[in-house]
Structure 1
Amino acid sequence: MHRTGLTELEVTLAVASRSSFRAAARELGMSATAVSNAIAGLEARLNVRLFNRSTRSVSLTDAGRRYVERIAPALAEIQRASEEISTQPETPTGTLRINAPPESALLIFEPLLREYLHRYPQMRIDLTTEARMVDIVAEGYDAGIRLAESVPQDMIAVPVTPPVRMLIVGSPEYFAAHGTPATPDDLPNHQAIGMRMSHGGIYHWELERHQQKFTVNVPPRIVLNEMRVIRQAARSGIGLAFISSWFIEQDLANGSLVSVLEQWCPSFEGLRLYYPGRRHVPAGLKALIELVHEIRDRKSPATDMSFFSQQ
């Protein structure tokens, strides 16, 4: 029998149906002493005798009969609810709530979310995109998507993408007009496309070479807060952009953008799907985690940077 947590009521019904403490104990997988103690405890709290007992028989009192008639339907309904909620369906159903930055949502839609919805037609995804850091537990989300460095330490994190690089890029027309920087020291003499962060500040370009890290403040000609718009501004020749390689693979391939100073642009960990705890993971979220692993196994993250590419 699936236990509901209402042990004393289950024991009462078992004893009433079997007219025996020992038979009820066998049915419930309890000792006869535990059954007797449960009945005695319930009678003490109700201040009424539920069973007449002798060395040879057990029978309900009139009060016990009326009590059993009232609790039996309710306990049966609780039992059904407990069994239904504890049984994971073969096909996940329900709504999966996810929080992610806007650009990350674009990256994971193909193929992850599209394939998930195709594979699990009874699931719905409620995806909220916002740049600010969100407490997914406090705000009622099942999971979040963030860069590995931004995932809270008390969360379980699953790699969704391979490592990524921030690259310094410009259009061929821009470099023809302004020249090509040979070292980071040349960057302050160039025009830049600034990126506004969610906290309001402008992102300073973080470079690294030979394990030496430093930041460069390139005066922005224009400040934007969406990676797609920054990409378009760079392609139009306004200035240099410091942008995730995920968003510009096609532009680099067709020559509409050119990358410079790559030796100063190291890779870092990519996106993570994160969620609270390992116990009682909802079926819909568990299916998404398994799909993430499946998709990653299809490709080699070490060599295939187009794992989730922005077209």
Structure 2
Amino acid sequence: MKQNFTVRRGALDGVEAFLRVAQHRSFRRAAAELRGTPSAVSQAIHALEARVGAALFIRTTRSVGLSEAGERFLSRAKPAFEELVAASEAARELGQRPVGLLRLAVPRAVVPLILEPVIASFCQAYPEIEVEIAASEEMVDLAAGGFDAGIRLGQFIAPDMAAVRLTAPFPLIVVGSPAYLRGRKRPADIEDLRDHACLRVRRSNGSIAPWPFVDGNKTLEAIVSGPLIAHDYSTLLGAAIQGVGLAQVPAPLARAPIADGRLLALLTPFAVTSPGVFLYHPGKRQVLPRLRAFIEHVKYRSAQKPRAATNSLARKKAG
């Protein structure tokens, strides 16, 4: 049976004063350490004794000693108070500098695109931070799961979350392998997808996502069918490369296989633009230094990529 439990208001009042007096056997020295007056320390002890229901000290004009109740109280209160002080210091350290465990909930497709390029440099820059990456397509409750932050496509982030952009907006593109398209008519219009095997993704709520498109100023959703349903874009991309069918995936994820000829981009005039990838967390007031350090590091590294690409292109032209 569940018991009702409450901590009495002011239950710890006077405990530190008691411990200082017990240590020095002097109200005057305890007051000096606590930056108070002997009278204030004495009043705190009297109030504590009233709550405990027993005298904790034996006082004379020449000395201060512990009563039997005081000895018992000291034996339990001292280690408990020291543990409270240590807990406070540990919590304060987490709030003042980047240390501790940083837990991130991310989709699998984000790991190679965003995290792998920065994780090594971040761990080197912040050796006192441990990074835990929980790769899953589930939309987790950050607070309930004990996560500092999550990473998701912008359209899937709740409006009450603080969001930090990690990528520019990008299109969701349809891709297919040359092997799959060999002997088949390439889709030139959204309606042509009816004649193709389309690989689909199941959302975290259990529904199968339609394929979104734009046609002029209109936004459309195509209900497609095919031999494979997966829970993440990486699996769909791999299946498309193997020639299982067509897949609709974020353009950055397909950039490399398109560049090396393993995939072809299709229906690009109808590609819908995703807001991009964002890091999200409950709000500014809850941002610990370890998360703030990670956000700034990722933003800095992301800013360096376009600059590096521009410099590389300039060198090629100069050559």
Unmatched 5+ stretches in structure 1? 305-311
Q: How does 1:28-39 map to 2 (within 5 A)?
A: 28=34, 35=41, 37-39=43-45
Q: Say which is worse superposed, 105-114 or 31-40, in terms of deviation.
A: 31-40
Query: Does residue 193 of the first structure (1) align with residue 229 of the second (2)?
Result: no
Could you say if the C-alpha distance between residues 105 and 12 of structure 1 is closer, same or farther in structure 2, counting changes exceeding 3 Å?
same
Residue equivalent to 2:229: 224
State the AA in 2 paired with 1:185. E
8 Å contact 1:193–1:234 — kept in the other structure? Answer: no
Query: Does residue 60 of the first structure (1) align with residue 85 of the second (2)?
Result: no
Could you say if the C-alpha distance between residues 65 and 206 of structure 1 is closer, same or farther in structure 2, counting changes exceeding 3 Å?
closer
Q: Secondary structure at the match of 1:214?
A: strand
Could you say if the C-alpha distance between residues 240 and 37 of structure 1 is closer, same or farther in structure 2, counting changes exceeding 3 Å?
same
Unmatched 5+ stretches in structure 2? 1-10, 311-319
1:162-220: CA deviation from partner (whole Å, max 9, x where unpaired): 223210223345556333433323332x3032213044443211112444211112332
State the AA in 2 paired with 1:163. P
Q: Secondary structure at the match of 2:224?
A: coil
Could you say if the C-alpha distance between residues 114 and 193 of structure 1 is closer, same or farther in structure 2, counting changes exceeding 3 Å?
farther
Residue equivalent to 2:313: none
8 Å contact 2:25–2:64 — kept in the other structure? Answer: no
Query: Does residue 96 of the first structure (1) align with residue 102 of the second (2)?
Result: yes
State the AA in 2 paired with 1:194. L
Could you say if the C-alpha distance between residues 29 and 91 of structure 1 is closer, same or farther in structure 2, counting changes exceeding 3 Å?
closer
1:95-129: CA deviation from partner (whole Å, max 9, x where unpaired): 33332222223323321223223334454333222
Equivalent-residue separation in structure 2 for 1:74 and 1:174 (angstroms): 69
Residue equivalent to 1:140: 146
- Report the alpha carbon displacement of residue 275 of structure 1 after superposing the two structures with TM: 3.0
State the AA in 2 paired with 1:60. V
TM-score of the pair, normalised by structure 2: 0.73
State the AA in 2 paired with 1:270. G
Q: Say which is worse superposed, 93-102 or 274-283, in terms of deviation.
A: 274-283
Could you say if the C-alpha distance between residues 77 and 167 of structure 1 is closer, same or farther in structure 2, counting changes exceeding 3 Å?
closer
Could you say if the C-alpha distance between residues 31 and 260 of structure 1 is closer, same or farther in structure 2, counting changes exceeding 3 Å?
farther
Residue equivalent to 2:276: 270
Q: Say which is worse superposed, 88-97 or 238-247, in terms of deviation.
A: 88-97
State the AA in 1 paired with 2:276. G
Query: Does residue 150 of the first structure (1) align with residue 156 of the second (2)?
Result: yes
Equivalent-residue separation in structure 1 for 2:167 and 2:37 (angstroms): 54
Q: Say which is worse superposed, 44-53 or 135-144, in terms of deviation.
A: 44-53
Q: How does 1:34-183 map to 2 (within 5 A)?
A: 35=41, 37-50=43-56, 60=64, 62-63=66-67, 66=71, 70=75, 71-72=77-78, 74-88=80-94, 92-172=98-178, 174-175=180-181, 177-183=183-189
Query: Does residue 184 of the first structure (1) align with residue 186 of the second (2)?
Result: no
- Report the alpha carbon displacement of residue 157 of structure 1 after superposing the two structures with TM: 2.7
Which structure shows the bigger proportion of residues in helix conformation? 2
- Report the alpha carbon displacement of residue 245 of structure 1 after superposing the two structures with TM: 0.7
Equivalent-residue separation in structure 2 for 1:213 and 1:58 (angstroms): 89
Residue equivalent to 1:309: none
Provide the identity percentage: 32
8 Å contact 2:106–2:137 — kept in the other structure? Answer: yes
Residue equivalent to 1:307: none
Equivalent-residue separation in structure 1 for 2:192 and 2:163 (angstroms): 39
- Report the alpha carbon displacement of residue 159 of structure 1 after superposing the two structures with TM: 2.4
8 Å contact 1:165–1:267 — kept in the other structure? Answer: yes
State the AA in 2 paired with 1:162. A
TM-score of the pair, normalised by structure 1: 0.75
8 Å contact 2:201–2:233 — kept in the other structure? Answer: no
Query: Does residue 259 of the first structure (1) align with residue 265 of the second (2)?
Result: yes
Equivalent-residue separation in structure 2 for 1:161 and 1:124 (angstroms): 24
Which of 222, 238, 241 is the matching residue for 2:247? 241
8 Å contact 1:51–1:58 — kept in the other structure? Answer: no
Could you say if the C-alpha distance between residues 29 and 109 of structure 1 is closer, same or farther in structure 2, counting changes exceeding 3 Å?
same
